Structure 1
Amino acid sequence: MAIVWPASLWPSQMTWGMVYNNRAFTSTLSNAQQIMGYPGAYWLCTLNFDDLFDEDERELTALLGRLHGMFGTVNIPAFTRIRTDNIGAPVIVTGNAQATNLTIGGVTPSKKVFAYGDYITIAGEMFEVVEDAVSTAQGRVQVFLNKRIRRSLPAGAVVEYKNPYSEMRRVDDTNQLTVQPVVANGSFQFREAF
């Protein structure tokens, strides 16, 4: 079970991104390229912490200690993509493995419920919405995503849209902070866990 990220612990800088699983084949005769896209894209994130005072330093090192390096997982929030509006109680209607879109029900009817750039989390897997999505009169909406769905999403699974997060693990096993009198700082890299 993933550890919940402490609400009071905010990085001073973060780098979020997607690592896709594409392969390029280049012809030795004409230099033409063919690109093949495969499943297995994942989120990659680096969190930088500057000017950590005693309490924050302790909280961060305790969190890293509970992870045991790459072994444990943590739900890292998308700090800049939180929402405060209410679009209903969104749940999965269909979310097939390897698809780049899904259908969500239980949202406010006949309204733009998702905008491109919104993040959503379903069963620990985070997606970015890549096109605006307007719901039908029945409160359903088709959502296009930035990556393929890794495994089929069960009908009725809750869609977290207000506080999206990605279940992640450390990229390496090393926990080190630079400690100076009174303050500390460090940089830690995580990748989506699956």
Structure 2
Amino acid sequence: MATIDWPVDLTPSKATWGLQSNTETFVSPLNRSTQTVERPGARWKATLEFPHMERDKRRRLEGFLAGLGGMAGRFFLWPHTAPVADLAAVPVDETMSLNFLNQIYQVNGNVVVDGTVTDFKALPTKYWPPNTLVLKAGEYLAAGGELKMATADVYSDLNGWALVPIAPAFRKAPPNLSVVTLTRPTTTMMLSSDEYGVAVMPGFISDTVIISAVEVF
């Protein structure tokens, strides 16, 4: 089954996003000292809550959910809690370009991965506006098909280069020069259950609908 896009017009009234880390803890039977190891496989979880919906929007949601076939379906979902990084939301002149040390880039052009990623918790990037706060801690981005969160404020240097500390760690290094997505960065999700139901009240208005999803890779 092909992976489909979450409908842009189906915006929840409340969205909860969080990480489910993958760790293993060992407690010494001798002195109760504790060691915890972080393992690969952390994944995003999301809960979307929709308020009372009129008939047309309710049918749109029901049709989308039915088409997924329960947990078998896959869909691209972005964090509705913060769909656009602050910098990406700032209007800029599309024709404006800058040249620092012979490195030309557009202020509103695509930010890209710069080189080979060796530390899977840090993303080297370029083509940012120079000497600027380009990402704030807690903002989302996507690279190499994986959704990440900046874990600290990120400032670009004179040449528009920035190293972004991210979580969770990359499962696979994103390709050099691949685009870093700041607007509606997505990850692949599936429903957390094979069942769903939509209660409808008189007047064809639905009761609150809550959908849970989890990242899949």
TM-score norm. by structure 2 comes to 0.82
Aligned to 2:37: 36
Structure 2, unmatched stretches of 5+, are 93-106
Corresponding residue of 1:139: 160
Q: Which residue identity is paired with 1:45?
A: A
Moved more, 78-87 or 105-114: 78-87
Alignment of 1:27-176 (within 5 A): 27-81=28-82, 82-83=84-85, 84-85=89-90, 88=108, 89-94=110-115, 96=117, 99-176=120-197
**How many matched pairs?**
194
Contact 2:132 2:155 in 1 (8 A): yes
Deviation at 1:154, TM superposition (A): 0.8
- Whether the 8 Å CA contact 1:106–1:140 is kept in 2: the answer is yes
1:46, 1:131 → 2: CA distance? 25
Shift of residue 98 of structure 1? Answer: 6.7
Segment of structure 1 superposing worse, 70-79 or 91-100: 91-100
RMSD: 1.8
TM superposition shift of 1:113: 0.9
| Bigger share in strand | 1
- Secondary structure of 2:66's counterpart equals helix
Which structure would you say has the larger Rg? 2
- Contact 1:95 / 1:149 at 8 angstroms: preserved in 2? no
TM-score, normalization by structure 1: 0.91
Q: Please give the per-residue CA displacement for 1:81-112, whole angstroms capped at 9, x wherever unaligned.
A: 12412653201114637710110112112222
Gaps of 5+ in 1: none
User: Are 1:73 and 1:167, in contact at CA under 8 Å, matched by a contact in 2?
Assistant: yes
Structure 1 match to 2:23: 22
Deviation at 1:123, TM superposition (A): 3.6
Partner of residue 183, structure 1 = 205
Residue 116 (structure 1) shift = 0.8
Aligned with 1:136: secondary structure? Answer: coil
Identity among equivalent positions (%) equals 27
Counterpart-to-counterpart distance in 2, 1:70 and 1:157: 30
Q: Which moved more, 1:82-91 or 1:100-109?
A: 82-91
Distance 1:77 1:162 in 2: 9
Q: What SS does structure 1 have at the residue aligned with 2:52?
A: strand
Query: Match for residue 12 of structure 1?
Result: 13
